[in-house]
Amino acid sequence: MINDLISDSLTRIRNAGMRRLETTQLLHSKVIEALLGIFQAKGYIESFNVIEKDKKKFINVVLKYDEKGKSVINEVKRISKPGRRVYKGKDEIKRFKNGYGTIVVSTSKGVLANDEAYKAGVGGEVLCTIW
């Protein structure tokens, strides 16, 4: 049984990228779907789609690689964990890795990237960072 779906999903993406796999399959949840939407918008993954098998939902993720065959994801890290939640205010989530990275924040307005959360003027729980 998996307690933390977000960290499991991030680990599956990280491992698939290290093995140079074309796709990987994740367990479905609305938060993970929103997280993958941000990853796709920022150019870290190619695409994703929701599949239903035997009344269970899964998400197929197509990974993205550069022209040398290296994964475009350098590092993906879970920040807020079930044992230790991390919250940041709107001023603390301004930039990450000098604008090259992205902080994913769960706010009252949904799951947002750091630049969108800053523009909306909201803070929240820091789910993960990616660059």
Domain range for 30 is 5-130
DSSP states of the chain as a string?
--S-HHHHHHHHHHHHHHTT-SEEEEE--HHHHHHHHHHHHTTSEEEEEEEEETTEEEEEEEE-B-TTS-BS---EEE-SBTTB--EE-TTTTS-SGGGTSEEEEEETTEEEEHHHHHHHT--EEEEEEE-
pLDDT digits (tens, 9 = 90+) for 75-131: 999 999 999 999 999 899 888 888 899 999 999 999 999 999 999 999 999 999 999
Residue identified by tokens 């239903």 is 52
* CA distances, 56 to each of 2, 5, 29 (Å): 15, 15, 11
Number of compact structural domains in the chain:
1
Interatomic CA distance for residues 118 and 120, integer angstroms? 5
Has residue 1 got a pLDDT over 80? no
Residue 95: what pLDDT? 86
pLDDT digits (tens, 9 = 90+) for 22-45: 999 999 999 999 999 999 999 999
- Is the alpha carbon torsion for 7, 5, 121, 89 positive or negative? negative
Q: What is the pTM of this model?
A: 0.93
CATH of the domain at 48: 3.30.1490.10
Q: Are 63 and 56 in contact (CB under 8 A)?
A: no
* CA distances, 16 to each of 32, 65, 72, 114, 127 (Å): 17, 11, 12, 25, 20
